[in-house]
Amino acid sequence: MNFITPAYAQGAASGGDVFTSLIIPMMLMIAIFYFLIIRPQQTRAKQHRDLVDKVRRGDTVITAGGFVGRVTKVTEGADDIEVELAENWRVRVVKSTLMDVRSKGEPVKDTAS
C-alpha cells in the first residue's frame, strides 16, 4: 500500500535551496523588525536621556505620576532633583521619572532655608 504518489515523492526529493527558502525571509523579517520597532525605540530613549540630563533650575516639568512642578534644585551627578509642586511644598523626584519638560523658565529664587 503506497500512501504517497510518485509525483509528490519526486517533488520532496529535490531538496530545494535552504538559503533562499528559510534564511532570506528570516533576515528580511529581522530587518523589518529592527527598522520599525527597535530603532525608533532607541531614538526615543536617547531623546529622553538628553531631556533628563539638560533639566535645570527653573524648568517646568511633568513627572510620571502626572504632577506638574517647577525645578528648584538640581545637584550635579545626583540621580534626583527637587521640584516645587505648590508654594512651599517641595519634593525630591528621581530624574528618570520625568516625562516632559514643558518650559524653560527663569531660575527660581532661593528662599532662606
pLDDT of residue 13: 47
Please name the helix (run of DSSP H) or strand (run of DSSP E) that holds residue 30, with its range, or none: helix 24-33
pLDDT in tens, 36-50: 999 999 999 999 999
Set of cell numbers at residue 100: 516632559
Distance CA 85, CA 72 (A): 10
pLDDT in tens, 87-107: 999 999 999 999 999 877 655
The pTM of the full predicted model, rounded to 2 decimals, is 0.64
Name the fold adopted by 56-103.
SH3 type barrels. (2.30.30)
pLDDT of 111 > 60? The answer is no
CB of 57 closer than 8 Å to CB of 69: no
pLDDT in tens, 60-78: 999 999 999 999 999 888 8
Q: Give all strands (DSSP E) within 9-97, no chain letters.
A: 60-63, 68-74, 80-86, 89-94
Set of cell numbers at residue 24: 532570506
pLDDT tier, 109 (very low <50, low <70, confident <90, very high otherwise): low
pLDDT in tens, 7-21: 555 555 445 577 778
Set of cell numbers at residue 38: 527597535
87 vs 10, 15, 74, 83, CA distance in Å?
A: 84, 77, 18, 11
Residue with more model confidence, 81 or 11: 81
Distance CA 78, CA 69 (A): 19
